[in-house]
Amino acid sequence: MIRRILTYPDPILKQQASEVPNIDGALVSAIDDMVETMYHAPGIGLAAPQIGLSHRVIVLDVDPENNGKNLLKIINPVIAETAGDILWEEGCLSVIDYTAEVQRAAQVLVRGWTPEGKEIGIEADDLLAVALQHEIDHLDGTLFLDRLSRLKRDLYKRRLKKLEREGRDPPPRRVMI
């Protein structure tokens, strides 16, 4: 089932998600909904809080040309190690019509669990490393806007208010993290 993606400034996006104590059928169903919603958006990553669920769960597929081939579903992800720095142009399904360069770790090791209850470790660099960090930020109530300068955040807020005043909808989404 395709779920509605919450958008900035929805206060739910600023809340820290709860750790998943056990994996059950309801959670697995919600994860399947997240995947369907991510592909429909279209996006390459989605965190449970973006659809209003306070669970530490993310889904990612950084190969949108081959949906499902490289799909990751991670429960209770934790960044265990980082190395290097990279500047990457990011966008977000919850931040309409805005991209900006964000400084991130160039490589990460993320540990977590699959929906089948298997412990996993994912070593990533480049886009996958950025996407993992971006989605894990969502679990902590952090948007990529929070990683920008105050000036850039304020400019984005003003643009949203102007669209609202003019009664215009934001432009359609592009593929986003």
For residue 65, indicate whether it is catalytic. Answer: no
CA R_g for the chain = 16
CA dihedral 115, 118, 123, 126 (to 10 degrees): -10
Whole-number Å distance between alpha carbons of 118 and 67? 22
- Closest of 38, 80, 42, 76 to residue 60, by C-alpha: 38
| Choice among 116, 135, 164, 166 that is catalytic | 135
Distance separating alpha carbons of residues 55 and 15, to the nearest angstrom: 11
Give catalytic residue positions: 135
